[in-house]
Amino acid sequence: MSTFKIKVANFFARESCAAWQPKRIIRIIYRHIYRFIMETGAEEYPYANLDFAKWQESDSNFYTLITDSSNFVIRRSTSYVAWMMKKYCGSSPKLPKPGPRKPGEHRFDAKHWGEILEYNGWQKVSKADWPSYQDILDERHFIGVMPDADEFGLLVWFNNARFTVTGFPAIWLVSTYKDFKEQCLEIPVSEKSGIIWYREP
């Protein structure tokens, strides 16, 4: 994306934040504009460019967080996986009414994404149905929820696997957004990984 488009998107993104724009209706309009600029025609995750919204984040009274068109804070695993769903499965996730939350938790932290995935028809799978060689051949998509990965949990998108000589998966190859950047992780196939797998409908 050109430097000019980033500058224009930054103007509207900044003015969509309560920290700098007190009028709610203007914030809503500008939020739609920067999302249109950043996401229209994008082939890869559109918020990876760190020149966009590079100010310090805050979710206190000085609110400066930027969200994507699915209403997830950008450069988080939730925003990244929502984009991957749109790219590979045809649509962004629909959001259900959230269940009970503990104090300090947000409506749709990564740890609560089981609710979203099931609402969108994704099926929670048992160990017997973890991503397999046949799933890779069939290009079947899986999303992993890691509720205990950190304070808010972590989502991973299944890409591939490494297999043993007997044909069983030994390492899951996944991608996610962590520490404000896209990362490819290698996770041993084990219940100790803490991943809860969901398969696309």
User: pTM of the prediction?
Assistant: 0.92
pLDDT at 45: 97
Q: Does residue 176 share a domain with residue 106? A: yes
Q: Does residue 167 share a domain with residue 98? A: yes
Q: Does residue 190 share a domain with residue 130? A: yes
pLDDT at 21: 94
pLDDT at 62: 81
Res. 1: pLDDT tops 90: no
Pick left, alpha or beta for residue 77 (phi over 0 → left; psi -120 to 50 → alpha; otherwise beta).
Answer: alpha
Q: Which residue has the higher pLDDT, 14 or 105?
A: 14
pLDDT at 159: 97
Q: Does residue 83 share a domain with residue 40? A: no
pLDDT at 114: 95
Q: Does residue 86 share a domain with residue 11? A: no
Side-chain half-sphere exposure of 2, counting CA atoms within 13 A: 4
Q: Does residue 120 share a domain with residue 103? A: yes
* β-pairing verdict for 142-146 and 196-199: antiparallel
When divided into structural domains, the chain yields a total of 2
pLDDT tens-digit map of 123-168: 999 999 999 999 999 999 999 999 999 889 999 999 999 998 888 8
Q: Does residue 34 share a domain with residue 9? A: yes
Res. 9: pLDDT tops 90: yes
Q: Does residue 8 share a domain with residue 53? A: yes
pLDDT at 166: 82
pLDDT at 104: 66
The whole-angstrom separation of Cα 95 and Cα 109 is 12
pLDDT tens-digit map of 29-70: 999 999 999 999 999 999 999 999 999 988 777 889 999 999
pLDDT at 165: 87
The whole-angstrom separation of Cα 113 and Cα 68 is 16
pLDDT tens-digit map of 88-123: 999 999 998 877 776 666 678 999 999 999 999 999
Domain of residue 60 covers 1-66
The whole-angstrom separation of Cα 96 and Cα 201 is 17
Instruction: Write down which residue in 66, 81, 103 finishes a domain.
Output: 66
